[in-house]
């Protein structure tokens, strides 16, 4: 499992908000405490279900072995269980930002569904037309 980088992901349309986990669920929030900052740092790993520069899995830096995966279309931080389903749920295809420069993450096993924030929660949602969806599904990597 190759490490690509340790990064934070900043929201495109809420630039003071960062992707993070809290109580095993994915959110975007401001980072007010040291714990908030720790919960927002991810190790970009080569995809668990597919190899190559265009497939990523996001491992928590403060909970090694725990990855963001979608389950019930909600993004959750869970310990890798070694199953093919887990690996597929935790793999994303990296594409240029849908709204602007940046990055958007498409589900590996639900093509046409993208990681996005909705009401500050992280979800996997089918692609939609419109500027709001594109902005909600675009993130900027911060080293």
Q: 105-118 as b/e, with b when 16 or more CB fall inside 10 Å?
A: bbbbbeeebbbbbe
| Ranges of the chain whose pLDDT falls below 50 | none
Per-residue pLDDT tens over the stretch 56-77: 999 999 999 999 999 999 999 9
pTM score: 0.95
Q: Which residue has the tokens 């265009």?
A: 54
pLDDT at residue 61, as a whole number: 96
Task: For the chain, list the domains and their CATH numbers.
Answer: 3-142 (2.80.10.50)
pLDDT at residue 1, as a whole number: 62
Q: To the nearest whole number, what is the mean pLDDT of the chain?
A: 96
């Amino acid at each position: 499992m190759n490490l690509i980088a340790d990064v934070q992901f900043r929201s495109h349309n809420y630039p003071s908000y960062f992707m993070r986990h809290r109580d095993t669920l994915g959110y975007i929030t401001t980072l007010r405490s040291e714990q908030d900052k720790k919960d927002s740092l991810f190790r970009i790993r080569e995809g668990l279900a597919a190899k190559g520069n265009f497939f990523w899995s996001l491992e928590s830096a403060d909970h090694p072995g725990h990855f963001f995966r979608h389950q019930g279309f909600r993004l959750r931080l869970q310990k890798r269980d070694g199953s093919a389903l887990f690996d597929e749920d935790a793999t994303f295809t990296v594409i240029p930002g849908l709204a602007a420069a940046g990055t958007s993450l498409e589900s590996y096993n639900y093509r046409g569904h993208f990681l996005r924030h909705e009401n500050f929660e992280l979800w996997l949602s089918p692609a939609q037309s419109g500027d709001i969806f594109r902005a909600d599904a675009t993130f900027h990597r911060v080293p």
